[in-house]
Structure 1
Amino acid sequence: MENRPFIDKGMQWLVLVYVLAFGVLMLMTNHGDFVLWLNDRHTSFGDFFFQYWTYLGDGVLLAIVALYFLFTNLHKFYYMLIAIALQTVFVHIFKQWLFDGEPRPKTFFADQVDRLNFVEGVNTRGFDSFPSGHTASAFTLAFVLISICKNKTLNVLIFIAAVLVGISRVYILQHFLRDIYIGSVFGILAALIAWYIMKPYADRPKLQNGLLFRKPSKS
């Protein structure tokens, strides 16, 4: 992490635009409007793409990246582990306690279910909608990687990939706009807090090694 900020200024502006744009959209529309608007724009390609792209937020990719860091760099591993733990706590508190049983689109639009376009092969759930855990996971992973990566173009692509995971959750009728919006905020906050927790330990030599790979010692 050295003396670098959590994310560079370019990414800060991109995140600000995202937060403001989706926040304004959420405030200016009724609950469910974005779901219906996006649902009316289903295509064969969209059905195929979003059905599989959504898996990037199911936690498996988080575990794979965490294991990679465990073997290569313990500092990044602990950073990732703390971020995952925070994101999990944030989502669990809201989904299982504060908003337990919150209806998902299939239940919310039960009286209009005949007009909805479902993606074949996707098992749509009926409750525990808020917030989106997949989106939170995707943004947690994205911002851990963005804070580590120095390639600006790659960071923008990582961010777009995370946004598309959120949109996929609405497209396949698993969540509402507010679910993915707050899920993304939780993911960013989890990575940010974890980054600050681990920042003081960034220069510790032992943490720059992994279980399998070690940096050569300076003579």
Structure 2
Amino acid sequence: MLKILTNHRIFFSLFFLWFIILACLQIAFTPTEMMFWVNEHNNPILDTAFGLITLLGEDGIWLVPLLVYLYQYFKQRKDVKNKAIMLIIIWITKGIISIALKNLFNLPRPMEVYELSGRFIHVIKGLEIHHWQSFPSGHTFTAFAFACFFMLVARNNALGFLWLGLAMLVGYSRVYLFQHFPRDVFTGSILGVAVVLGVVLFSKGKKWEVAF
């Protein structure tokens, strides 16, 4: 595990910075203050951009290209099967944990909390706003999990900045679109990386172990 953290220090250093910043913000400001600060800083360009970026948190958006990438790039290598198995296990584990936590806590989403507050809420026209199962953010969970896995598979430390940057934007988009609280995004990002590292550790000694 130490080798993985060292070889991909850019990704994990930036993730640690993300962790510290979000933790400090949640200590310094209330959820209401953070939600409406983000919500008030909107414009049509950001509406379009984050409406598209948030799609990167959809399972199909990541799973399909990753499977294609694995097949095309590693089809001549013996470890392609193991990487595919690991990806599937990550995907299933992520889904089970996300659904379990959402149903266990069943916390209200921002719109459910603030809809009758009398405050103006900026929402994108035509966007379906959910009201419950806020914790954790499934889109952020997915984005960070697949970004972390993709970074490991690509074995390109320089790309760590790109993968993590995209995942961070997905997390921010969930708050911008008034779908999740910062705490949901914060937890989702931690869970996403933790699941990948957990599966990597679990694979040690297994027939489908992958050396990253």
TM over 0.5, shorter chain: yes
C-alpha RMSD over aligned residues? 2.4
| 1:87–1:137 CA contact under 8 A, matched in 2 | yes
Distance in structure 2 (CA, Å) of the matches to 1:28 and 1:147:
34
Q: Which moved more, 1:35-44 or 1:85-94?
A: 85-94
| 2:141–2:191 CA contact under 8 A, matched in 1 | yes
2:132 aligns to what SS in structure 1? Answer: coil
Alignment of 1:138-217 (within 5 A): 138-200=143-205
Amino acid at match of 1:89: I
Cα deviation, residue 174, structure 1: 0.4
Aligned to 1:82: 89
Aligned to 1:49: 49
Q: Which moved more, 1:125-134 or 1:189-198?
A: 189-198
| 2:82–2:208 CA contact under 8 A, matched in 1 | no
| 2:111–2:178 CA contact under 8 A, matched in 1 | yes
Q: TM-score, normalised by structure 2?
A: 0.86
Could you tell me which of 104, 107, 117 is aligned with 1:112? 117
Unaligned segments of structure 1, at least 5 residues: 209-219
Aligned residues: 203
1:83 aligns to what SS in structure 2? Answer: helix
Point out 4+ residue stretches in structure 1 off by more than 4 angstroms.
201-204
| 1:66–1:77 CA contact under 8 A, matched in 2 | no
Distance in structure 2 (CA, Å) of the matches to 1:76 and 1:191:
12
Aligned to 1:25: 25
Aligned to 2:14: 14
Aligned to 1:213: none
- Report sequence identity in percent: 25
Q: TM-score, normalised by structure 1?
A: 0.84
Which is greater in Rg? 1
Amino acid at match of 2:137: S
| 1:105–1:174 CA contact under 8 A, matched in 2 | yes
What is the CA deviation profile of residues 129-181 of structure 1, one whole-angstrom value per residue up to 9, with x for unaligned ones? 11100000000100001122232332101100000000000101100000000
Distance in structure 2 (CA, Å) of the matches to 1:70 and 1:151:
18
Unaligned segments of structure 2, at least 5 residues: none
